[in-house]
Amino acid sequence: MKKNKKPWSGRFREPLAKSAEQFTNSVHFDARLYKQDIVQSIAYAKALFKVQILSGTECKKIIRGLEEILRGMASGKIKLNPEFEDVHMNVEAILINKVGEMGKKLHTGRSRNDQVATDLRMYLKWEISETRILIKKLQEVILQLAEDHLAVIMPGYTHLQRAQPVLLSHHLMAYFEMLERDRERMIEAYRRTDVLPLGSGALSGTSFPVDRNFLAKELGFSKVSKNSMDAVSDRDFVVDYLSACALLIMHLSRFAEELILWSTYEFDFIELSDAYATGSSLMPQKKNPDVAELIRGKSGRIYGNLISLLTVLKAQPLTYNRDMQEDKEPLFDTIDTVKDCLQMFAEMIKTMKVNREVMDRAATKGYLTATDLVYYLVRKGVPFRSAHEIVGKIVSYCEESNMELDYVSLNQLKPFCDKFSYDVQRILSSKASVESKEGYGGTSSKRVKEAIKNARAHLLYDKT
């Protein structure tokens, strides 16, 4: 193809300005779709053979040429030329150069509009599966941590104030559940991506009797798009993935924030491995949780990518508009960022040290069993609101006396309420508090062991 000779140049009297060519060029980012583009073109060649647009000989030569291009690009021997605008036109130009005039037949009935939509769906289906695998691996690490620390009690927090004692394992399993929802959202995103647009042409369909069900089977799609205009202009499936990733990175960011807090001297609940921390260029004593901080920081980047695409799409008339070229960079960046974060998070928490004694001590301070004392009085017939007020006064007394709740004697409790008896001491320890939470979903060791067992079985037998 001659320099500046575009496949669409027949209608034009002047060549595209160099500045416009550079501005509209997308080869530098859509090059990563080359495998999908070539595989799609092989399937399309077969479909054109079925409707006698290509002869058997032409079909075989085109497929052989495409396979050679695929190998050449995979090995780095074939490079994409920015002059040809995008990956699709590059592949076509290289093919025509290889097989001659017959290569010009391959685009019959096909537009770059349905071509890119198909490439993008093929690519994203793969990446959704990869994302789900990485989420599952992180869940497996969390399960192992929870199993290894079943006896560790820590303070649970509301408003970042100590609230009630919980098992560390229960706390960790909360993140397992968040990630499970993320995996479910990925399944839904995959389902919506798994629709074939190829055969929709530029916007109105094709005049050639191309077998779209055959193409769907060849390319691994479970459904075929129902409306050609919607098929070429739809990027909802990309938004679905970006939205799922925004929630996923939010969960990782919350977890990262806790690890950052827990690794401070003020908490000292955990110590991150040296392999996932850095030092200070000035202060030699520092050990900074940089990996966790970067994961937390990248949440803004993922949110931005979602908003970027929603903004691109919000005012586009049907059908395809060049604005849609802006869908790929936010998507590709999100894919790369989320996969890196999932990988790093799994490595970071797998190697961290839990300071069990510090957590255990923290769970004995801050009047964490005050609610258990309220429930004790409720069981003795005291109305909840009255019991709440009584225990509030007891906590105030303990604060004034510089005393923890589990050290208060029966003689000291009696003046506040005559319902207190000798059995009260049994419910005031953190361990007793934890073990009393036997309701489904609670923090008792029995329930947490059950949750871990069920989660392991779920991951083991989940084939989606």
The CATH number that applies at residue 415 is 1.10.40.30
Can you tell me the mean pLDDT for 280-300? 95
pLDDT of residue 83: 84
Q: Angle CA(262)–CA(264)–CA(266) in degrees, nearest 5?
A: 95
Are residue 119 and residue 78 in the same domain, yes or no? no
Instruction: Please tell me the predicted confidence (pLDDT) of residue 5.
Output: 67
Residue 158 sits in the same domain as residue 239? yes
Residue 3 resides in a domain = no
CA distance 331 to 87: 17
Q: How confident is the model at residue 46 (pLDDT cuts 50, 70, 90)?
A: very high
Q: Which distant-in-sequence residues (6+ apart) come within 8 Å of 9 by Cβ?
A: 15
Give the residue from 182, 308, 165, 326 showing the smallest Cα distance to 255: 182
Phi, psi of 353 (to 5 degrees): -100, 130
The answer to whether 116 and 88 are in contact (CB under 8 A) is yes
Does the pLDDT value for residue 464 go beyond 80? no
Where do we find the tokens 């409306």?
227
Q: Does position 22 have pLDDT exceeding 80, yes or no? A: no
Q: Say how many C-beta atoms besides its own lie within 10 A of residue 129's C-beta.
A: 13
pLDDT value at residue 84: 87
Alpha carbon distance 63, 69 (integer Å): 10
Domain membership flag for residue 89: yes
Residue at a domain's end among 332, 360, 388: 360
Given 315, 332, 360, which residue is the final one in a domain? 360
- Of the pLDDT bands very low, low, confident and very high (cuts 50, 70, 90), residue 1 is very low
CB atoms within 10 A of CB 161: 8
In whole angstroms, what is the distance from residue 294 CA to residue 176 CA? 21
Q: How many residues does the chain have?
A: 464
Q: Does residue 2 lie in a domain region?
A: no
Does one domain contain both 224 and 314? Answer: yes
443 cis-preceded (ω within 30 degrees of 0) = no
Are both 346 and 197 inside the same structural domain?
A: yes
> Which residues on adjacent β-strands are paired with residue 155?
165
Residue 134 lies in a domain: yes
The percentage of the chain sitting over the pLDDT mark of 70, rounded to a whole number, equals 98
Q: Are residues 102 and 165 in the same domain?
A: no
Q: Is the pLDDT of residue 461 over 50?
A: yes
d(CA 216, CA 197): 9
Q: Report whether pLDDT(406) > 90.
A: no
Give the three-class secondary structure for 161.
Answer: strand
Q: Residue 194 is part of which domain span?
A: 113-360
- End-to-end, the C-alpha distance of the chain in Å comes to 45
Residue 79 belongs to a domain: yes
Domain boundary among the residues 76, 108, 140 is at 108
Give the pLDDT confidence score for residue 459 in this predicted structure.
93
φ/ψ (deg, to 5) at 89 = -70, -30
Give the chain's mean pLDDT: 94
- Residue 2 confidence (pLDDT) above 70: no
Please work out, in degrees rounded to the nearest 5, the angle formed at the alpha carbon of residue 306 by the alpha carbons of 239 and 32.
75
User: 152 and 272, same structural domain?
Assistant: yes
Average pLDDT over residues 229-248: 98
The CATH number for 88's domain is 1.10.275.10
Would you state the pLDDT for residue 369? 96
Each residue's pLDDT tens digit, 139-163: 999 999 999 999 999 999 999 999 9
Taking residues 390-414, report their average pLDDT: 94
Among candidates 464, 389, 434, 394, which has minimal Cα distance to 131? 464
Q: Do 129 and 175 sit in the same domain of this protein? A: yes
Whether residue 119 is found in the same domain as residue 102? no
- Based on the fold, state whether residues 235 and 277 are members of the same structural domain: yes
211, 268 Cβ separation under 8 angstroms: no
Active site residues: 159, 280
DSSP character at residue 142 = H
Cα(356)–Cα(121) distance, integer angstroms? 47
What backbone phi and psi angles, to 5 degrees, belong to 423?
-75, -5
Give the Cβ contact number of residue 158 at 10 Å: 8
Residues 356 and 366 in one domain: no
Tell me: do 40 and 64 sit in the same domain: yes
pLDDT in tens, 329-386: 999 999 999 999 999 999 999 999 999 999 999 999 999 999 999 999 999 999 999 9
User: Distance of CA 160 to CAs 155, 164, 263, Å?
Assistant: 10, 12, 15
Does residue 123 share a domain with residue 48? no
Per the structure, how many domains does the chain have?
Answer: 3
- Listed residue (108, 117, 101, 115) closest to 209, CA to CA: 108
Region 181-187: mean pLDDT is 97
pLDDT at 150: 96
Cis peptide bond prior to 319, omega within 30° of 0 = yes
Asked whether residue 1 is assigned to any structural domain, the reply reads: no
Could you tell me if residue 70 is inside a domain? Answer: yes
